[in-house]
Amino acid sequence: MDAVFDFLAPVGLNETNFQFMLIAAILGCSIYVTLYGGMFSLANAGFMAIGTYVSVVLTQRYDWPFVPAIIAGMVAGGLIAIIVGLPVLRLSDIYLAIATIGFGEVVVVLIRNFDRIYEEIFDKKIEITGGGKGIKNIPVTTDTLHLIIFLLIVVYFLYRMQHSRFGRALAAIRQDETVAANLGINVVYYKNVAFIIGAMIAAGAGGLSGHLNRVIEPDDYDFDRAVDILTYAVLGGTTFFIGPVVGGMVLRYLPELLRRLKVLSFVGSIVGRDLTNEQAAVDGIINGIVLILFIVYLPGGLADPQLWKSLYRRLRPNNTQKGAP
C-alpha cells in the first residue's frame, strides 16, 4: 500500500486524502439510493451524525470493539430513519427537501445539547456527546482496508439494485409515482426502504469517519455537510451506480490537486493576493460552480454512460463517413 502512495504523492494523493475520498464516495452512494427513487432528501448529514456519535460513544465511553460499534451506529441510523421516514416521505420535492433540512438541524442541535438535556431531565450530570466541543482524542481505528471493503459492499449493492425488482420499482417511482402505484407498486413501502438503506449507509460512513478524525464536533454535520453530500451525487450522476463514487472521489481530490499544482498561488499572483490560506473559500467556489454547471449542462453527471457513448461516437475517427449511405 505504502508503495502505491509514494508513487502517487506527486499528484497530491497520500493515504489520508485517499481515505477521505473513500468516505466521500460512500456518502455519495448514501444519497444516491434516495435520489434513485426520486426522493430529494437532505437528511443524510443527520444520519451520518447519528452513526458517528453512536459508534464513537460506544467505543470511547463504553469500550465496545470497533466493528460492532460501527454496526450499532448503522442500526441506530436505520431505526431513526424508520421513525422519520414514515411521516416525512409523504411530502414531495421541495417540501421533502425542507423537512429533511429541518431534521438535520434538529439532530445537530440535539447532539450538541444532549448532555444538558439529560441533566435537565434526570438532574444528573453526564458526558456522552461532549456538547458543542464534541469528543476529542479518538484513537484512529479505521484503516484504508475497512473503507475499501465497506465501499465495495455498497457499490456491489447499488450495482445489483439497478437490475433488481426493487431498483426497477424505485426507478418507476422516480419517473411517475402515481403510475407506479397504479402498476401495483407499493410506493410508500419502497420509498421507506430506500430511505432506511440510504440512512444506514450514511451512518456507516459516519462511524468510519468518526474513527478517522481524532475529533468529532456536532457542527461537522450541519447543512453544509448535507450540501457536500448532495454535490458528490450531482457531480457523479444519479442514475448510474458508479456516479456517486466518481463524484465523491473527484470532488474530494480536486482541492488536493489544485494545491499540488499550485493553482492557488498562481491565481493569487494574478489577483495580487495571497490565496494559499483561503483554501476553504476556494473549495466553496469550486463546489458552487460544479453544482451549477452540472445541474445546468450535464444533469446526467460525470458517470452518465449516455454522455461517454456520445462523446466516443463523436471522437471516433472516420465515424461520419461510415454512417453515410
The answer to the question of residue 288 lying near other proteins (CB under 8 A) is yes
Which amino acid, one-letter code, is at 193? V
The answer to the question of residue 161 lying near other proteins (CB under 8 A) is yes
| Binding-site member from 24, 282, 302, 303 for other proteins (CB under 8 A) | 282
Residue ranges with strand state E in the chain: none
Helix count and strand count (H, E) for the chain: 15, 0
| Binding-site member from 8, 79, 128, 187 for other proteins (CB under 8 A) | 187
Question: What span, in angstroms and rounded, lies between the C-alpha atoms of 34 and 43?
Answer: 10
The answer to the question of residue 33 lying near other proteins (CB under 8 A) is no
Q: Which stretch binds other proteins (CB under 8 A): 23-31, 70-78, 255-263, 286-294?
A: 286-294
Question: What span, in angstroms and rounded, lies between the C-alpha atoms of 194 and 191?
Answer: 5
Q: Which stretch binds other proteins (CB under 8 A): 70-78, 140-148, 248-256, 293-301?
A: 293-301
CB 74, min distance to other proteins, A: 16
| Comparison of 15 and 219: residue with beta carbon closer to other proteins | 219
Task: Map the footprint of other proteins across residues 214-273, applying CB under 8 A.
Answer: 223, 227, 230, 234, 239
Question: What span, in angstroms and rounded, lies between the C-alpha atoms of 275 and 192?
Answer: 45
Task: Map the footprint of other proteins across residues 46-85, applying CB under 8 A.
Answer: none
| Binding-site member from 2, 3, 10, 87 for other proteins (CB under 8 A) | 87
Q: Which stretch binds other proteins (CB under 8 A): 53-61, 73-81, 201-209, 285-293?
A: 285-293
DSSP string, 64-97: --HHHHHHHHHHHHHHHHHHHHHHHTTS-HHHHH
Q: How far apart are the first and last CA of the chain?
A: 54
Which amino acid, one-letter code, is at 239? T
Question: What span, in angstroms and rounded, lies between the C-alpha atoms of 305 and 237?
Answer: 10
| Comparison of 110 and 128: residue with beta carbon closer to other proteins | 110
Number of residues that bind other proteins (CB under 8 A): 71
CA dihedral 130, 136, 139, 144 (to 10 degrees): 90
Task: Map the footprint of other proteins across residues 91-120, applying CB under 8 A.
Answer: 91, 93-95, 97-99, 101-103, 105-106, 109-110, 113, 116-117
The answer to the question of residue 89 lying near other proteins (CB under 8 A) is no
The answer to the question of residue 149 lying near other proteins (CB under 8 A) is no
| Max CA distance (Å), the chain | 85
| Comparison of 60 and 231: residue with beta carbon closer to other proteins | 231
The answer to the question of residue 186 lying near other proteins (CB under 8 A) is yes
Give residue for cell 482524542: 137
The answer to the question of residue 164 lying near other proteins (CB under 8 A) is yes
| Comparison of 75 and 275: residue with beta carbon closer to other proteins | 275
CB 3, min distance to other proteins, A: 34
Collapsing DSSP to helix, strand or coil, 216 comes out as strand
Instruction: Give burial (CB, 10 Å; 0-12/13-18/19+) of 135.
Output: buried
Binding mask 117-136 for other proteins (x = CB under 8 A): x-------------------
Judge whether 105 and 223 are in contact, CB under 8 Å.
yes
CA atoms lying within 13 Å on the CB side of residue 38: 21
Instruction: Give burial (CB, 10 Å; 0-12/13-18/19+) of 280.
Output: exposed
CB 277, min distance to other proteins, A: 11
